[in-house]
Amino acid sequence: MRWLAILCLCASAAGAQEFTTLKGHGGPIMGIAASGDRVVTASFDNSVGVWTGGVPDWKEGHEAAVNAVAFGPDGAVISGADDFTVRLWGQDGTSRVLGTHKGKVTALAVSPDARLVASASWDGTVGLWSLSGDTDGRFLDAPGGVNAVAMDDKARLWAATSNGFLVRYDLIEQTADQIVSHGFGINEIVVTPDWIAYGAVDGVTRVIDHEGGQIADFTLDRRPILAMAYHAGTDQLAVGDGHGYIMMVDTADWQITRDFRATREGPVWALAFSDDGTRIWAGGLDDVAFGWPVEALDAFDPGISGDRSFLRDAATMSNGERQFMRKCSICHALEPGPSRKAGPTLHGVFGRQAGTVPGYTYSDTLDGSDIVWTDDTIDALFDQGPDHYIPGSKMPMQVIAGADDRADLIAFLKSANDTSGKEAGK
């Protein structure tokens, strides 16, 4: 009857701390942080969600997908995004740009004394920004695009790069030492006083000492590693990968304790522990953040469905719908009214002047534009790509090379607008 006892234990633990969802974003969850009764989420929908008791306070200001979030001093929130900026959001509702990179911001790390935040960027630098505003920011050069950063209590900064280097910067001595040359991009790092864990594109999950000597290896046949979180009080290391698993490692004796399938399809992009280490928060392709009780992980089915429209079987869609799902659907809705997606609705798009959907904040390029969306202008948009047709807009680079594919997309958009009860061109 041992199996019955185990099931009862899991059910009891699950009942004591329930599975939780945070719903409201309009795009995948790219980053997550937790502190006290607050959870902060970064999303592809360009926004930051600050959740208290499951209720969101939306922080709007980034002009592209938000990739990373962290807590700063006095309850402030810090975010970094594809618009190259690092922003500070105060609890009093104020916000300001701490600094600007020349490439997307991929990760953030706050110093133990909460005086500095480091930002990783694909421009090949790490930014250092004062959280008190008493000094100007500065940049540290890295040997490649930077995917992850960490700071320790010895005034050292650690940076992991897209070409496989782990670099240690001494901020006092102003020196830099290469600790690891992995050969594949390192996506994630966790730094503690005794060891460093890193996860890489090739699926390697490795623990080393501060000079690069190996302590443990937890590499499984899953890649890439996309998220890591550590809780010192319970010695737990959580690792998320591209196959949708969360692996839990007990760092006291270097054993894998759980290997939980968190998603039905798609990756785990973001992980964070609650303050007491009893809950793991995660994000992926869904527009929802999920929180599981750690002790009962194995009692749950996958929570993140990964059921995004662009992952549907191509055989079930017309070519025009397929073009929309793969090129447009993650940012644009077809239904009328406001949504939390990154772009404005395409409901009623034909005959509409660009930059005029009520309630949507447009870039300066489209705000007041004289472009009117017609068959010809939509065709030109995807033929040339937004970066050439409407340079300076928020729209990511999307090109549909085939004229027939563009025509099919336009026909689908007209059909979708007809279905909504509007005549094409009105």
Could you give the CA distance from residue 358 to residue 341 in angstroms, rounded to a whole number?
Answer: 14
Write down the pLDDT at residue 423.
38
Q: Which of 285, 280, 284 is nearest to 268 (CA)?
A: 284
| Pair of tokens at residue 93 | 């509702």
In a domain, 426, yes or no: no
In a domain, 59, yes or no: yes
Question: Which has the minimum average pLDDT: 79-93, 210-224, 333-347?
Answer: 333-347
Coil, helix or strand at residue 348: coil
- Which of the two residues, 363 and 162, has the higher pLDDT score? 162
Q: What number is the average pLDDT over the span 326-355?
A: 90
Are both 324 and 286 inside the same structural domain? no
Work out the angle at residue 59's Cα, subtended by the Cα atoms of residues 57 and 64, and round it to the nearest 5 degrees.
140
**CB-neighbour burial class of residue 13 (10 A; exposed 0-12, middle 13-18, buried 19+):** middle
Q: What number is the average pLDDT over the span 3-8?
A: 33
Are both 154 and 24 inside the same structural domain? yes
pLDDT at 424 over 70: no
Are both 293 and 320 inside the same structural domain? no
Are both 346 and 271 inside the same structural domain? no
Which amino acid belongs to residue 91? Q
Which amino acid belongs to residue 64? A
| Pair of tokens at residue 216 | 């443990």
Q: What number is the average pLDDT over the span 304-315?
A: 73
pLDDT at 3 over 70: no
- What percent of the chain clears pLDDT 90, i.e. is strictly above it? 77
Q: What number is the average pLDDT over the span 324-337?
A: 89
Domain of residue 248, CATH code: 2.130.10.10
Write down the pLDDT at residue 131.
93
Q: What number is the average pLDDT over the span 102-112?
A: 97
Could you give the CA distance from residue 36 to residue 16 in angstroms, rounded to a whole number?
Answer: 18
Are both 403 and 359 inside the same structural domain? yes
Could you give the CA distance from residue 122 to residue 187 in angstroms, rounded to a whole number?
Answer: 12
Are both 294 and 314 inside the same structural domain? no
Q: What number is the average pLDDT over the span 72-101?
A: 95
Of the residues 259, 279, 299, the one at which a domain ends: 299
pLDDT at 69 over 50: yes
Radius of gyration of the chain measured on its C-alpha atoms: 23
Q: Which of 321, 120, 306 is nearest to 128 (CA)?
A: 120
Are both 250 and 357 inside the same structural domain? no
Write down the pLDDT at residue 17.
65
Are both 131 and 161 inside the same structural domain? yes
Question: Which has the minimum average pLDDT: 218-227, 276-285, 286-295, 360-369?
Answer: 360-369
**CB-neighbour burial class of residue 35 (10 A; exposed 0-12, middle 13-18, buried 19+):** middle
Are both 83 and 39 inside the same structural domain? yes
In a domain, 425, yes or no: no
- Mean pLDDT taken over the chain: 91
pLDDT at 10 over 90: no
Are both 291 and 314 inside the same structural domain? no
Write down the pLDDT at residue 326.
85
pLDDT digits (tens, 9 = 90+) for 31-58: 999 999 999 999 999 999 999 999 999 9
pLDDT band at 273 (very low <50, low <70, confident <90, very high): very high
Write down the pLDDT at residue 108.
98
pLDDT digits (tens, 9 = 90+) for 82-95: 999 999 999 988 99
Total domains in the chain come to 2
Are both 381 and 264 inside the same structural domain? no
Write down the pLDDT at residue 145.
98
- Which of the two residues, 121 and 132, has the higher pLDDT score? 121
Q: What is the largest CA-CA distance in the chain?
A: 74
pLDDT at 366 over 90: no
Write down the pLDDT at residue 309.
59
In a domain, 304, yes or no: no
Write down the pLDDT at residue 120.
98
pLDDT at 4 over 80: no
Are both 222 and 125 inside the same structural domain? yes
Q: What number is the average pLDDT over the span 120-124?
A: 98
Range with the largest mean pLDDT of 243-247, 297-301, 338-342: 243-247
Domain of residue 353, CATH code: 1.10.760.10
User: b vs e for 334-368, b when ≥16 Cβ sit within 10 Å of the residue's Cβ?
Assistant: beeeebbbbbbbbbbbbebebbebeeeebeebbee
Q: What number is the average pLDDT over the span 105-134?
A: 95
pLDDT band at 312 (very low <50, low <70, confident <90, very high): low
For residue 348, give its domain range.
309-419
In a domain, 424, yes or no: no
Of the residues 267, 299, 331, the one at which a domain ends: 299
Write down the pLDDT at residue 364.
84
pLDDT band at 317 (very low <50, low <70, confident <90, very high): confident
The H-assigned helical ranges of 252-335 are 319-327
pLDDT band at 15 (very low <50, low <70, confident <90, very high): very low
pLDDT at 225 over 90: yes
Q: What number is the average pLDDT over the span 18-24?
A: 94
Q: What number is the average pLDDT over the span 228-235?
A: 98
Question: Which has the minimum average pLDDT: 213-222, 230-239, 412-421?
Answer: 412-421
